[in-house]
Amino acid sequence: MPDLSGKQGLIVGVANKRSISWAITQAAAAAGARLALTYPSERLEENVRELASALKNPVLAPCDVASDQQIADLAATLDREFGGLDFLVHGAAFAPADALSKPFVETSRDAFRMALDVSAYSLVALTRAVVPLMEKRGSGSVLTLTYIGSQRVFTNYNVMGVAKAALESSVRYLASDLGPKNIRVNAISAGAIKTLAAAGISGFSSILQVYRDRAPLRRGVDQSEVADAAVFLLSNAGRAVTGEILMVDAGFHTVGF
């Protein structure tokens, strides 16, 4: 397993023990990293605090990624607590429920704006906020989570697919901007996994069976498999990889009819 000892990372997107970001937190901690976790609201604070109690010396801070002020406050907290940052994991996504059940053509302006803001623009805003902290360390690795619904139609994925397309394009533009500072920016495109976010998509469980039937490995993936690939990209082992969308999906993306 790649080594993250001596590294300090920020992980945004832990809601509960099924969160992909929580699996990444556990894998990064096992690889030796010290971690900061965020919670977007008081409602989720208790969950995140309880999970974080299993970590060694974690930092916890509020951060609704739709708020520039909260992002600025978070960067100040990390500067105070860590004095620099080696990696950022961005696992935040949101779209209003009716945008994930009605036909895509009915997507409202507000739902579109909210989905793109929370699920795509937030990567740009968070990355910008932590660049000075990564510069202090001489390098950095930024990682976000995406889904193949950015390129192909999955029933009810709708505006989230549009947001993921914007997110993946943002990965490439950020990688280009920040490469000269030795900051890498990548995404993992994960296969479908049963989580809180996935439960918000009507008919999601039928997608899981499609992976079992058609993916080359004839199965879906789990959180720990995404987390292992994440640790590779966050660590020095991934030092020449940037602007990449790494498919961790049991090969599902390779299959046509």
Ligand X SMILES: NC(=O)c1ccc[n+]([C@@H]2O[C@H](COP(=O)([O-])OP(=O)(O)OC[C@H]3O[C@@H](n4cnc5c(N)ncnc54)[C@H](O)[C@@H]3O)[C@@H](O)[C@H]2O)c1
**Interface positions with ligand X (CB under 6 A):** 13-15, 19-21, 40, 44, 63-66, 91-94, 118, 145-147, 190, 192-193, 195-198
Residues facing residue 9 across a β-bridge: 35, 87
Residue length of the chain: 257
Q: Which residue has the tokens 């023990």?
A: 17
Report residue 85 as tokens: 């940052």
Which residue among 121, 157, 173, 211 is the active-site one?
A: 157
Quote the least distance from Cβ 136 to ligand X, whole Å: 24
Q: Which is nearer to ligand X, 30 or 196 (CB)?
A: 196
Min. distance of Cβ 8 from ligand X in angstroms?
A: 20
Closer Cβ to ligand X, 64 or 135, answer by number: 64
| Ordered alpha helix ranges (H), the chain | 20-30, 42-52, 68-81, 109-116, 122-137, 158-178, 196-199, 204-214, 223-234
Q: How far is the CB of 178 from ligand X (least distance, A)?
A: 20
Q: How far apart are CA 193 and CA 173, in angstroms?
A: 28
Q: Which is nearer to ligand X, 12 or 134 (CB)?
A: 12
- Give residue for tokens 């109690």: 53
The amino acid occupying position 186 is N
Backbone angles phi, psi at 31, to 5 degrees: -85, 0
Is 121 one of the catalytic residues? no
Q: Which is nearer to ligand X, 36 or 118 (CB)?
A: 118
Q: How far is the CB of 138 from ligand X (least distance, A)?
A: 28
Active site residue 147: yes
Residues 6+ apart with CB under 8 A from 42: none
- The residues annotated as belonging to the active site are 147, 157
